[in-house]
Amino acid sequence: MSVIVQKFGGTSVGSVEKIQHVANKIKQEVNRGNQLVIVVSAMGKSTDVLVEMAKQISPYPEPREMDMLLATGEQVTISLLAMALHEIGIKAISMTGWQAGIITEDVHTKARILEIKKEPILTQLGQGNVVIVAGFQGMTEQGGITTLGRGGSDTTAVALAAAVGAERCDIFTDVTGVYTADPRIVPLARQLTEISYDEMLELANLGAGVLHPRAVECAKNYQIPLTVRSTFEEIEGTWVKEEISMEEGLVVHGVAQEKDVTKITVVGMKNEIGTLSSLFKTLAEFHINVDIIINQSIQGHERTNISFSLHTEDVTRTLEILNQHKGHLQFEEILHEDGLSKVSIVGAGMISNPGVAAEMFSSLSASGIEIKMVSTSEIKVSCVVPQKDMVKAVQTLHTTFQLDKAEAVQQV
């Protein structure tokens, strides 16, 4: 008998009827003879509603209290799903993250899972129960309630799959699989049959919200095959796994985007050893996450300008911190540019194909899109562009790299 972990996201459990639909899907899987661990998210947009209420009370709520609040969302779903299963004659038990033995770091709102004490789940599976675990939450060694970061239920599912030695982990969601781009932004996006862990990890890190990046990281580390598939349509999903057949021989496999990016330039820092480290050490001390960094130093010049990008929500704090440390950082002024976004292309085929970045730049400039910053790795190229041009940029790149649906390519 194999153990399978299945995760159902917020939209999939967004109403009582949808929870009943999920219960029926679980029943079918039980009837195929599998043991099941089910992970669920909070119903619909209820996590957003909780965040909104907290923000009405405090602009910077205590992270501990945020976790206490947000962890309640998933607890509603686990109990309702257990009841729905009981009603159709399936033995099931719900468990919070802590009851399921999910131990995390002592960091609030974005804790990493350290360990899963799997015995409680194995005991319940052994007694013939479908085990329903609340996604996105865990407990510190000291007994504090933590959450794993937005979208973290995917990570709960994959981590549980690794802990109980599951045969695979199915991520059920509101799209039929992983697409060449977000199908809500690119109507011509195609569903992929399969994608490698590395490419999926890049896409997830670069903003493809269909999977939580740490879920992909964990799947790769423990070699857990993942499927991403629809809760509502009986369609074969996308496999995320180690080796894939490069069926189409395409260099680029996906396009992703991230909005609300700001570029900050620290003007006139001393052009000497240690300048970069003192600037970014200062930001790191305050847990500011920086993305692309450009140091415009020229040999022989006394001063240099350093630019970096970051999420717009961190800008006010970052400017405050930099100004507080002006004495020690010794810069002349700070410039910042809001209203930007990041568009990225990802594909393992890039390693052996020079000129991919050049093609990206020329395609964006041919569409009149200004490129503000660039960053590359072996399998991706990212460009920071004005947010007003983000959708156009993603669609342009999707067409340039031949990712549009076949019939559409012929029409072009």
Residue 267: burial class (beta carbons within 10 Å; 0-12, 13-18, 19+): middle
344 binds ligand ADP (CB under 6 A): no
Counting contacts by CB under 6 A, is residue 326 touching ligand ADP? no
Q: Does 213 bind ligand ASP (CB under 6 A)?
A: no
- If you count DSSP H runs as helices and E runs as strands, how many of each does the chain have, helices first? 13, 18
Count interface residues toward ligand ADP (CB under 6 A). 19
Q: Contact between 347 and ligand ASP (CB under 6 A)? A: no
What letter represents residue 149's amino acid? G
Using CB under 6 A, pick the residue from 181, 201, 288, 346 that binds ligand ADP: 181
9 lies in the binding site for ligand ADP (CB under 6 A): yes
Q: How far is CA 187 from the centre of its chain?
A: 21
Which helix (H) or strand (E) is 381 found in, with range? strand 380-386
Q: Which is nearer to ligand ADP, 11 or 140 (CB)?
A: 11
Question: Residue 86's CB: how many other CB atoms inside 10 A?
Answer: 13
Q: Which of 3, 25, 35, 73 binds ligand ASP (CB under 6 A)?
A: 73
Which helix (H) or strand (E) segment is 366 a member of?
Answer: helix 356-366
Nearer of residues 9 and 213 to Mg ion, judged by Cβ? 9
Q: How far is the CB of 183 from ligand ADP (least distance, A)?
A: 6
Judged by CB under 6 A, the chain residues 149 through 178 that form the site for ligand ASP are 150-153
Output 157 or 164, the one with its CB closest to ligand ADP.
157
How many residues of this chain interact with ligand ASP, rule: CB under 6 A? 12
Q: What are the strands, taking DSSP E only, across 181-253?
A: 194-196, 226-230, 238-241
Q: With binding defined as CB under 6 A, does residue 41 bind ligand ADP?
A: yes
Judged by CB under 6 A, does residue 10 bind ligand ASP?
yes
151 near Mg ion, judged by CB under 5 A = yes
Residue (240 or 393) nearer to Mg ion, CB = 240
Q: Establish if 10 lies at the interface with ligand ADP (CB under 6 A).
A: yes
User: Across the beta sheet with 380-386, what order do the strands follow?
Assistant: 290-295, 303-311, 254-270, 333-346, 380-386, 373-377
State residue 7 phi and psi, 5-degree precision: -120, 135
Identity of the residue, 11 or 227, whose beta carbon is nearer to ligand ADP in the bound complex: 11
Report what 136 binds from ligand ADP, Mg ion, ligand ASP, none; CB cut-off 5-8 Å by kind.
ligand ASP
- Residue whose Cβ sits closest to ligand ADP: 9
Distance CA 27, CA 100 (A): 22
The nearest distance, CB 309 to Mg ion, in angstroms, is 24
Integer CA distances (angstroms), 136 to 20, 47, 73, in order: 22, 11, 10
- β-bridge pairing 3-8 and 35-40: parallel
